Amino acid sequence: DNKLIASGSRDKTVKIWNMATGKEERTLKGHTDWVASVFLSKDNKLIASGSWDNTVKIWNVAMGKEEQTLKGHTNSVNSVVFSNDGKLTVSGSNDNTVK
């Protein structure tokens, strides 16, 4: 029943799209380099985004606000995912680590 989709871009933003209308709902700004990966939680409440700025950001979809920045990678973050229960965020990086 997902009605939203998220995309990341070279313009350093995450965009939230309405799948039914094809229209952009919101633009999330906060990364300082390309956004390489995004993942929308099953309940459509959170987005995780990974960037070439070496961070993962957690976003509140309804508010359009950054809730948390996760640091620790020393190279670009190219993959992000929430665990099935939504309690963990996992990221993969060009620094050859998974966190």
Q: Which two tokens stand for residue 94?
A: 């060009």
Mean pLDDT of 12-19: 96
Residue 59: name the closest of 32, 79, 38, 77 by CA: 38
Read off the pLDDT of residues 65-83 as tens digits, 9 standing for 90 and up. 999 999 999 999 999 999 9
Share of the chain above pLDDT 70, in %: 98
Q: What band does 1 get if pLDDT is binned at 50, 70 and 90?
A: low
Q: Comparing 86 with 52, which gets the higher pLDDT? A: 52
Mean pLDDT of 39-60: 96
User: In 61-75, which positions are buried (b, 16+ CB within 10 angstroms) versus exposed (e)?
Assistant: beeeebeeebeebee
Output the pLDDT for position 81: 98
Q: What is the mean pLDDT of the chain?
A: 95
